[in-house]
Structure 1
Amino acid sequence: MNEEQSSSLSDIRLVAFDVDGVLTDGRLYYGPEGESLKVFHVRDGVALKVLPDVGIEVAVVSAKDSPALRARLSDLGVQHAFVGCHDKLHRLQALADELGLAPHQVAFVGDDLVDLKVMDWCGCGLAPADAYSLVLERADRVLTVSGGQGVARCVADLILNAQGLYDQAYSLAADAHFERKRDSAGQ
């Protein structure tokens, strides 16, 4: 990581994640009744819980909506969950305004063309290793892991290290109380 990327990661106060192709491997599974099934990596759950515990807001923004996604976000207590959202840029700009954050304080992780506007707007655009080729070219940082393989954890580690919060964050995560189910009110 070059100095410019390190400094932008040290400014991050909100990190937002796309779902399909980022928090999942991008494949869509349908059950016999037509329901959508999703597979999430447990390491991402730790990241989505530990970042807010050290003062970094987390958002999840997805054009798709499903009971599986809603259940996972609820279990993790994600405060800023926007599902069925077809204008990610507008939604994240509004959230940044609500939180009093400038674009350089926002990071976004996306994997496909629909994510480019947000990646271009925010302070740091990140992409999984297997993102679409144009996204890989335009990302500020390409991660070492593919979608669904711990992307959020990789991003959390980068941000926590850049901000000197890694040890503090993971000492919180090592506590047995950390694994409790959290609700959308953060409890």
Structure 2
Amino acid sequence: MDEKLLDKFRRVRLLALDCDGVLTPAYIETGVIMDPKSSQQYEGRPHNSVVEIARFSHRDGQGIDLVRKPEIDLKVVMITGQRSGYVQARCSKMNIPCLQTKDKVMSLTEWLQKESPEISLQEVCFVGDDMSDFGVMNIVGVPVCVADGIEDIKKIASYVTQKGGGEGAVREVCDLIVTAKQNAARPETTRRLNILITGTGEQATEEVRRIAQETACLLALQGHTIMTNGGPNGVPEAAAIGVHRAREQKPDAVSCAYTFMPGRTTEQTKTTILKTFPGRFEARNAQSCEDLDVAVFFQGGLGTQAKFLTVFHRVMHINKDLVKKGFPSLQRQKLIIAHESFAPNNLKACQKIFGSYFKKEHLRALRFASTADEIAGLTTAWQKTLSRGR
């Protein structure tokens, strides 16, 4: 197996499986419970007199157990259009979630958002065999087709198994994932994050400025790039000063200003890099949203809220809608942290700030903090979720 494919399997954090044709052979045995006291024909019998028998591989089950061990720690879910009772019975036996659905793309994306928001679609391996899997296999990072799957599915698969559905194909995939993760071709590296620290340029309190400065210093010392609005006062200035403090211990600490104000210089923004969008506030916000991995919001007014809504709307809605339509998801997964000076961890209070559209699902998507150490801790935890399996 080439290194690129091995690396894809190394990054997998969720294994999603179709049922019929993947965990079973591509056929179902059907029979009828005969009542010797009745002469009714098959068509006239109630549905519960029909018996469907599907054959599952014990080795596939063992493979699923392997990838869920702590040293591999994969999540596994079944996503199938089949609604027969044997599907639930098998999932219950293997103790894995069972999504019986007509829309596999929507079911996968909604399940991830609710159960594992830290896992991106690029970290999902889906094993399928037929056209009902086409949409979902087009949006995941590692689409796999079983050996006896149809040709159209094989064409979009990153890997085609040597074994057929119900004949050990899933075990084959599980073994590949275990091998890839246990025999990394290169040492695990820690990813440097782009972190936007933003808030008011004028009205920040001394306490907010102090925490923004400490946050920037801590995160810059950890090797991250600190992004600011390029403003000369308030939170942007405090963040830039924090990176200057870090540079005393770590000379290669980096800060980057995104500004829409013409004629600004790195000296004025107190940053090492300057990206200018003269007179184009929306363009500046859109590009910083695209580039950031983590956004930390401090006390601010309408400008800060505009940046927040740009990031938040894209993560919560645009990304989800794109995926539903079969388009690629965001290039970067994003963590949004709200300092208590920007928004409290309270639904009613957030609704007063952002409007009644703000729901519980929005609140759950945010992380809240009150100190620089808490912000750094949330960022480190997020960094680990991005680096796991690499």
In structure 2, the residue corresponding to 1:71 is in which secondary structure?
helix
**CA distance in 1: counterparts of 2:104 and 2:63, whole angstroms:** 21
Spell out the pairing of 1:56-75 with structure 2 (5 A cutoff): 56-75=74-93
* Residues 80-103 of structure 1, C-alpha deviations (whole Å, 9 max, x = no match): 2112x1111111112222302111
Q: CA deviation at 1:120?
A: 1.0
Structure 1 residue 128 and structure 2 residue 155: aligned?
no
Q: CA deviation at 1:15?
A: 0.6
**CA distance in 2: counterparts of 1:20 and 1:74, whole angstroms:** 16
In structure 2, what is the equivalent of residue 37 of structure 1? Answer: 53
Q: CA deviation at 1:75?
A: 1.3
Q: Kindly name which structure, 1 or 2, has the bigger radius of gyration based on alpha carbons.
A: 2
In structure 1, what is the equivalent of residue 66 of structure 2? Answer: 50
Q: CA deviation at 1:114?
A: 1.3
In structure 1, what is the equivalent of residue 341 of structure 2? Answer: none
| Divergent runs of 4+, >4 A | none
Q: Any gaps of 5 or more consecutive residues in structure 1?
A: 166-187
In structure 2, what is the equivalent of residue 171 of structure 1? Answer: none
Task: Compute the TM-score of the two structures, normalised by the length of structure 2.
Answer: 0.41
In structure 2, what is the equivalent of residue 5 of structure 1? Answer: 5
Aligned sequence identity (%): 29
In structure 1, what is the equivalent of residue 15 of structure 2? Answer: 15
**CA distance in 2: counterparts of 1:95 and 1:164, whole angstroms:** 28
Q: Which amino acid aligns with 1:136?
A: K
In structure 2, the residue corresponding to 1:53 is in which secondary structure?
coil
Paired residues, what number?
A: 163
Spell out the pairing of 1:1-187 with structure 2 (5 A cutoff): 1-32=1-32, 33-54=49-70, 55-78=73-96, 80-83=97-100, 85-98=101-114, 99=116, 100-164=118-182
Which range moves more in the overlay, 62-71 or 122-131?
Answer: 62-71
**CA distance in 2: counterparts of 1:135 and 1:51, whole angstroms:** 24
CA contact (8 A) 1:14 1:57 kept: yes
Q: CA deviation at 1:147?
A: 0.8
Q: Which amino acid aligns with 1:63?
A: G
In structure 1, the residue corresponding to 2:95 is in which secondary structure?
coil
Q: CA deviation at 1:50?
A: 2.4
CA contact (8 A) 1:96 1:106 kept: no
CA contact (8 A) 1:127 1:141 kept: yes
Q: Which amino acid aligns with 1:11?
A: R
**CA distance in 1: counterparts of 2:51 and 2:81, whole angstroms:** 16
Q: CA deviation at 1:27?
A: 0.2
Task: Compute the TM-score of the two structures, normalised by the length of structure 1.
Answer: 0.83
* Residues 74-133 of structure 1, C-alpha deviations (whole Å, 9 max, x = no match): 11111x2112x1111111112222302111110100000111111110000001111001
